Structure 1
Amino acid sequence: MRVALLQVSKVESPLYLDAYFQNCAKQGVSLVVLPEYTFDPFFRTLQSLPSPQLVASHNVSILRQLSELAKQYKLEIITPIVVDSHTLKLSQDILSSKLYKTIALVDSEGFRFYIQQRLIGYEHWNEHAFFANKHYKRVKLPFTIDRNGLKIGILSGFELHFDELFVAMKPECYDVLIVPCANTFDSLARWRSLCKTRAFLNSCALLRVNRVGMELIDESSWSFYGDSLYVNAHGQIEDSLQDYEGVMIISLDIESIRKAREVWGFHKPFAQT
């Protein structure tokens, strides 16, 4: 199975990505992954808008355009995106609809959503207070799909920090984790360590895609540094992108993933004494 990580900044229209999708189709890619805040204004900008609900309404048309591109190029597309409760069919009231931070899986038939379970809640970046996502005490499994014999889990980058999610996931034996991110500041080394640790302890491949570009926040420049990664099931970085726009195409091998799981034995039950 071939997966493409598109390391891009914010784009105004899915049509900007048409050449990338066309190239992916030519190279036998079946699944394309985009980083956080590709189509949405970055969170701090979104937070300051007088009517952020208009962004969610516009995003429905973006998802429809992506579905058309998915049909044209025979792809599935994973994109984080802000939508409202009406789009999620959680409410019939369009006027009072709340905003949710989600990850959409888009194909030729339409789109489905994973509602992020854990949100950033820091003073300078407080998604938890802004979005209506529920903070479940008992976590649910990530968005799960099966492709080419691979069990794939899709979750947000921030959710990699929460052990309770991985305790729930461990019996499921995921082969691949796909992790869209929007990482900034001086966190490159920390994120590399986190991704390698999660891949190694869970004996799975981990694909992390981070955005690039600059955002001016409170007269300070926030730089999103890219460094999208493919980490193998032994916790080793196989490939990475630098700090500019680009695409990484990855060939996933189920046998090497399952061999790593067998070698390290982290999923084997303890022997009874």
Structure 2
Amino acid sequence: MGVPRFTDLTAPQIAALPADTVAVLPLGAIEQHGPHLPVSTDHVTATEAAQAAVELAAGESVPVVLLPGLAYTKSDEHHTFPGTIWLSWDTLMRTLVDIGRSLQTSGISRLLFVNGHGGNSALGQVACREIRRRFGLRTFFAHLGVPVDQGGTSSAAGELGMGVHGGHGETSLMLHLRPELVHMDLAVRRVPEHLADYELIGFGKPVSFGWTSDDFGPDGHIGDPTGATAEHGKAVFDAAVGRLAAVIAEAHRFAP
């Protein structure tokens, strides 16, 4: 049946959508991902996964529409490297809240953010509550997978739980989705092994810490992309799409 896209509908068609239709908004980023990945990595992964999940959910008769993905988000942790285009936290917050307000005036009552960039997480969760409080929408915030620095696991043991940016997982995803944009000849291991000496502070540990990507070396990525494969990327992508389709179905009927 194809992907039900919000932008393909007319105003009367939008007004006629079922009351519990879920609007899905991918949140990507345009930011450096080391010498081997394009700056579009987070935008590509978020938009591709959201599109596939929306198509899958719609095929199971879940009322859902796909909004155009937001490419520019909060990427200032990568500000020291060329190619990063970021919005300030307050600009992005106002943008997300304004989108929620606009959807409410169109009769949309449920909004799911599909996030492809870990740096958006805290702000996105605050935005969800703000949109809920001010405009009454049911709001949800989902990742393709739990980010490593927020308690997820690295996809390669050699990353020591620190494959947070441009490592094995993201590189594998891009080898599956956009192999022509990946430069594996430039992929090198960049794992800050000294962080393993800290019991409480670190990526995915009880105490988080503020960081910028230049804290960890000259290349901008944090992880080990050298063993990435398209096969692993496909497995990760397919699992993410299935999970997101299930999230959309739950968001459609969710009531606290």
Which category describes the TM-score, using the shorter chain as reference length? Answer: 0.3 to 0.5
Higher helix share: 2
TM-score, normalised to structure 1, is: 0.31
TM-score scaled to structure 2, two decimals?
0.33
Structure showing greater relative contact order (alpha-carbon pairs closer than 8 Å, 6 or more residues apart): 2
